[in-house]
Structure 1
Amino acid sequence: MQESHLSAAPQRTGNVIVAVALLVLMAVGGYFRFVGQNWDDFTSLHPDERFLMQVASGIGGPTTLSYTDPAGLTQEQADQRALCYERYPATSGIGGYFDAACSPWNPQNVGFGTFVYGTLPTFSTRAVAEVIAGLSSDQSWLTFYPIHLAARLVSGISELLIILVVFSIGLRLHGKWVGLLAAALYTLTVFSIQQAHFGTSDPMANLFAALSILFAVCVQRDGKLRDYFFFGLAFGCALASRINLLPLVGLIFVASAVRLLPVFARGVAGYEREAHWTQSAVGIILAGVATLVAFRLLNPYAFNGPGIFGLTPNSAWLDEVGKARYFISGEWDAPPNWQWIARPRYLFPLWNMVAYGMGVALGITAVLSTIVALWRLVRGKPGALVNAVPLAWIVAYFGYMGLQWVMTMRYYLPLYPALVVMAAWGLA
């Protein structure tokens, strides 16, 4: 009894040290991410942010619907307006939240076409601006200036929370000290600090991508149904932020497969093997349902509506996704695409992540740690499967994005949390 009490004392001391250190990291990370939020002094220098702020200040509030053709209403748009007036005569055609054709929350209905982003970050910006406007009794927060500060606040909070998520991933994979080191590394990751100052969709997408990795790790470790459910919610929110995070879906299958491997060992009873298979199947279905619910609620105009159960795909949204793919394919001959000519695929984005996104020391450590972990996995080394989820994400997403014509650094932001965890593991 006395020996047990004595052995628990260092563990409690270690937990206190980790908790205090994590609080310090959050304070330091918060300072770096929130200082100088109005860095451009109301000049809107970030083009994507500028467009998103136009949308955020335009949705939700109009009393009439407008459309996107500068030459005037097309026949299709005229038919859409007539349909909305027929459905909602008392509100001059203004429809409910889930009605893609008539909702004032749909960017395409308030004069903003080619909206190729998820709606969750824009909705979050608008919600934060509404809260600030209500608390301050200053309705100017709902206008183009200063709604960009609300968007940057959302970005800063998202990148700050990722410090905790990175700690949790490291904790569950390799213990509290690796988790703490990973959190420290992400706190000082330059690209995270920079992106926290932009009111774009990338930081929030990064947060939910990191949460998806975390809950996939939890599935791999424990296999509880709640972990599948929370993975589905996080994945749905990630898709509602950026649709190009679809490759995250593979993590739930990787985690489930690793979880199931021990049941194939000799001597495992048939009923036990069947129970594990059933648990995984139910969990994956639950994750799928949670994903659909989150995506339906937070990116509602991927579907036609007009109610929540109107789940037919919205052709206008599919067209926008197609445009986004066209813009980054290299087939679009326009000045923004010329900068990628003669840039070597994979090597160019990798160089930018190592040299500028993380810094040379952290970048090289992350890359080498990932290579070592992959080598251990391929060789079947003991304990190598522990890193299966972050490795699967790094390989799959970098492999997918590296094939694209457009190699802008922010497209690779969702890799940083996993890379930082691998760096911490390699240093430990």
Structure 2
Amino acid sequence: MKKILVAATIILLAFFFRFNNLNWDENFHLHPDERFLTMVGTAMKIPSSITQYFDQKTSLLNPSNIGYNFFVYGRFPLILTKYLAVVYKLDNYNDFTILGRQLSAFFDFLVVILIFKTVLFLEKHYRFLPSIKYWASFFYAIAVLPIQLSHFFAVDTFLNFFMFGSFYLALRVGRDRPLQNTILSATFFGLALACKVTALFILPLNLFFLIKTVFVRRQSLIKITGFVFGYFLISYFILRIADPYLFQNSNVFDPTINIT
């Protein structure tokens, strides 16, 4: 009972600190990056078909086609927010920002849970002290930077969640449902790349745990190569779906990056 109360307290604290006073600037749009994302997001239009969604030249979800050629972020957070804004009739300058902040807070809230689950996994398999999972999630729950970022509509918390999720799932590959966790880890990594290219920094760590699993099972070099290739292939296809405008054209066999 005591453990449940401690975990519940941490969860409630994390939720409160992230969702409290999300309209902190009272619709004055004081954050410049956030203001830019809102301007781009509200200018976007939902494509009329799946074909148009994947067409870099005509899709109005592509910032380059609506007058914003200089767009340095991944487009997935903005695309996700746009679809939700249209569905819930929040596609206007003020509500779009608040929705973006809510999503930002939501994804960072999920990171608190991921931290708890990651340390719980390490506790079971690597003899971590039982109290560490509570301390780790508690310190992240009250940390200033994540709380601050949760109150901004930017790509940072989206990126953090999908990066950490890909790591957590890669960590599980060697102990539990290797095929399923490999596919999920690759999916999360692809979504992380669709948020920001700096997601690449988590890749060496993910590959370490994946390759370690194959080595422990004494697989051949061909199987190791195939395992890693499969991971990259899944991530690539997820990236093409989540951020198709990163690429020069809609041909999945042409990975040329769009530099315009």
C-alpha separation between the residues in 1 aligned to 2:28 and 2:2? 44
Instruction: Find the counterpart in structure 2 of residue 296 from structure 1.
Output: 240
C-alpha separation between the residues in 2 aligned to 1:172 and 1:120? 29
Instruction: Find the counterpart in structure 2 of residue 148 from structure 1.
Output: 97
2:254 pairs with 284, 297, 312, which one?
312
Residue 202 (structure 2) pairs with residue 212 (structure 1): no
Task: Map 1:181-330 onto structure 2 (within 5 A).
Answer: 181-222=135-176, 224-259=178-213, 263=216, 273-274=218-219, 280-306=224-250, 309-313=251-255, 317-319=258-260
- AA in 1 matched with 2:97: H
Q: Highest CA radius of gyration, 1 or 2?
A: 1
2:10 pairs with 25, 32, 56, which one?
25
Query: Contact 1:252 / 1:284 at 8 angstroms: preserved in 2?
Result: no
Instruction: Find the counterpart in structure 2 of residue 122 from structure 1.
Output: 78
C-alpha separation between the residues in 1 aligned to 2:121 and 2:112? 14
Output one character per residue of 1:228-276: Cα deviation in whole Å (capped at 9) or x when no partner: 1111001101000001221222123211343356x4xxxxxxxx6236x
C-alpha separation between the residues in 1 aligned to 2:2 and 2:259? 50
C-alpha separation between the residues in 2 aligned to 1:300 and 1:191? 30
Query: TM-score w.r.t. structure 1 length?
Result: 0.55
Output one character per residue of 1:371-408: Cα deviation in whole Å (capped at 9) or x when no partner: xxxxxxxxxxxxxxxxxxxxxxxxxxxxxxxxxxxxxx
Q: Which structure 2 segments of 5+ residues have no match?
A: 125-129
1:97 pairs with 47, 53, 58, which one?
53
Query: TM-score w.r.t. structure 2 length?
Result: 0.88
- AA in 1 matched with 2:26: D
Q: Partner of 2:101: helix, strand, or coil?
A: helix
CA shift for structure 1 position 21: 2.9
Query: Contact 1:173 / 1:217 at 8 angstroms: preserved in 2?
Result: no
Q: Partner of 1:96: helix, strand, or coil?
A: helix
C-alpha separation between the residues in 2 aligned to 1:217 and 1:62? 38
1:34 pairs with 11, 19, 22, which one?
19
Bigger relative contact order, structure 1 or 2 (CA pairs below 8 A, ≥6 apart): 2
Instruction: Find the counterpart in structure 1 of residue 39 from structure 2.
Output: 54
CA shift for structure 1 position 174: 2.4
Distance change >3 Å, CA 127–CA 104, structure 1 → 2: same
Query: Contact 2:240 / 2:252 at 8 angstroms: preserved in 1?
Result: no
Distance change >3 Å, CA 27–CA 98, structure 1 → 2: same
Q: Partner of 1:318: helix, strand, or coil?
A: coil
Distance change >3 Å, CA 300–CA 151, structure 1 → 2: same
Identity of aligned residues (%): 27
Output one character per residue of 1:272-295: Cα deviation in whole Å (capped at 9) or x when no partner: 6236x6664443233212201210
CA shift for structure 1 position 169: 1.2
Q: Which structure 1 segments of 5+ residues have no match?
A: 1-15, 64-90, 134-140, 264-271, 320-428
C-alpha separation between the residues in 2 aligned to 1:24 and 1:280? 43
Q: CA-atom RMSD, angstroms?
A: 2.5
CA shift for structure 1 position 145: 1.6
Instruction: Find the counterpart in structure 2 of residue 172 from structure 1.
Output: 121
